């Protein structure tokens, strides 16, 4: 079923989760997402030059659009030109990092601190991930899946791009869902990418599902006045509101509520991952293979 442009826009503009992320929390994610969506739209219009420029620019705002760069280069008819754009935008962006702070420390934080599941040598997890459970249980050492699973999955996906005719959106969704399944930090603001990609595919039920998951997590794990005034949230004994929020969080911010919800959310990631793969396999088995945009091959 195809939805009208206005109906699809409502799922974005009037979405409470998107309003939360876009207006009061994680605004840099929205800016990076803008460049990610621009990159996808340019790519689908055969403008790999503008697509690669957008993806590289977005990656230096927040890293996620970087996952598009190898895909675009793989599909590009002018690989050397587009690679030069990546290098040029990267050099310009790095100059800002060098000017603003300590580039070596920034690289260490990006590659090591966010690439392993430890803080000061001990296992740490945060957000809507099943890995929050061993952390709540006090497990100090736990395997990190990022270098051993996520990175190989990414290269396997690149290998399968042409064999399975993966669209740029399908490619991104499969990797992001793998990220949600295996990474130890799955913050609510990351879901704007999943929501927007499913919106581009006009898959309304997944837009609703991946808007509900982070919204419920925020209700369970955060004091709501935090998003209005920080002091209302943490100065619990200053008002009836603070006392009420303190009691509510005592009931919801614990291993039973958060851990149980994280398991349900992880099941949703896995089932959605399965649905996408089954759709791709079914499409490739059909006599007349059809691209995700509806064109016969």
Looking at residue 55, its pLDDT comes to 96
pLDDT at position 29: 87
Separation of alpha carbons 72 and 51, rounded Å: 7
Q: How far is CA 130 from CA 41, 121, 187, 221, in A?
A: 33, 20, 12, 15
Assess contact for 43 and 170: CB atoms under 8 A: no
What pLDDT does 226 receive? 72
Residues 30, 192: contact at Cβ < 8 Å? Answer: yes
Q: What averages of pLDDT result for each successive group of 10 residues across the chain (297 residues)?
A: 59 85 80 94 95 95 93 95 95 82 71 68 89 91 85 93 92 96 92 94 93 93 75 60 77 88 97 95 74 52
- Mark residue 202 as left, alpha or beta (left: phi above 0; alpha: psi -120 to 50; beta: remaining): left
Q: Can you say whether residue 27 is alpha, beta or left, with left for phi > 0 and alpha for psi between -120 and 50 degrees?
A: alpha
- Bridge partners of 56, per DSSP, are none
Could you give the count of Cα atoms lying within 13 Å of 237 in the half-sphere of its Cβ? 0
Q: Give yes or no for a contact between 178 and 171, defined as CB atoms under 8 angstroms apart.
A: no
Cα–Cα dist 8/129, whole Å = 28
> What's the distance, CA 46 to chain centroid?
25
Query: CB-based contacts of 180: which residues, under 8 Å, 6+ apart?
Result: 128, 129, 186, 190, 194, 266, 269
> For residues 137 and 47, is the Cβ–Cβ distance under 8 A?
no
* pLDDT for the residue 110: 65
pLDDT value for 189: 92
Q: Would you tell me how many other CB atoms lie within 10 Å of the CB of residue 216?
A: 16
Q: What string of DSSP letters covers 77-92? A: S-HHHHHHHHHHHHHH
Supply the pLDDT for residue 115. Answer: 66
Are residues 211 and 18 in contact, defined by beta-carbon separation less than 8 angstroms?
Answer: yes
Measure the CA–CA gap between 121 and 139, rounded to whole angstroms.
12
* Token duo for residue 85: 């754009």
Measure the N-to-C terminal CA separation of the chain; round to a whole number of Å.
22
């Amino acid at each position: 079923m195809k939805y009208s442009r206005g109906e699809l826009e409502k799922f974005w503009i009037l979405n409470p989760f998107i309003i939360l992320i876009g207006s009061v929390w994680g605004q840099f994610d929205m800016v990076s997402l803008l460049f990610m969506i621009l990159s996808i739209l340019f790519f689908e219009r055969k403008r790999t030059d503008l697509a690669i420029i957008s993806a590289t620019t977005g990656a230096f705002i927040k890293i996620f659009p970087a996952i598009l760069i190898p895909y675009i280069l793989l599909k590009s008819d002018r690989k050397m030109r587009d690679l030069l754009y990546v290098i040029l935008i990267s050099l310009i962006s790095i100059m800002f990092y060098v000017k603003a702070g300590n580039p070596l420390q920034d690289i260490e934080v990006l590659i090591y601190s966010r690439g392993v599941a430890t803080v000061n040598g001990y296992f740490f997890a945060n957000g809507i991930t099943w890995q929050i459970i061993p952390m709540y249980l006090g497990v100090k050492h736990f395997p990190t899946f990022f270098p051993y699973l996520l990175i190989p999955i990414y290269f396997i996906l690149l290998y399968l791009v042409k064999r399975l005719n993966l669209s740029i959106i399908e490619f991104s969704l499969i990797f992001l869902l793998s990220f949600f399944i295996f990474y130890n930090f799955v913050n609510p603001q990351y879901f704007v990418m999943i929501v927007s990609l499913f919106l581009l595919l006009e898959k309304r039920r997944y837009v609703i599902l991946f808007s509900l998951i982070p919204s419920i997590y925020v209700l369970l794990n955060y004091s709501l006045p935090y998003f209005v005034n920080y002091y209302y949230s943490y100065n619990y004994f200053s008002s009836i509101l603070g006392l009420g929020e303190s009691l509510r969080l005592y009931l919801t911010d614990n291993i039973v509520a958060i851990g149980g919800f994280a398991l349900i959310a992880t099941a949703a990631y896995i089932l959605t991952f399965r649905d996408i793969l089954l759709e791709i396999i079914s499409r490739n088995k059909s006599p007349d293979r059809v691209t995700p945009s509806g064109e016969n091959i």
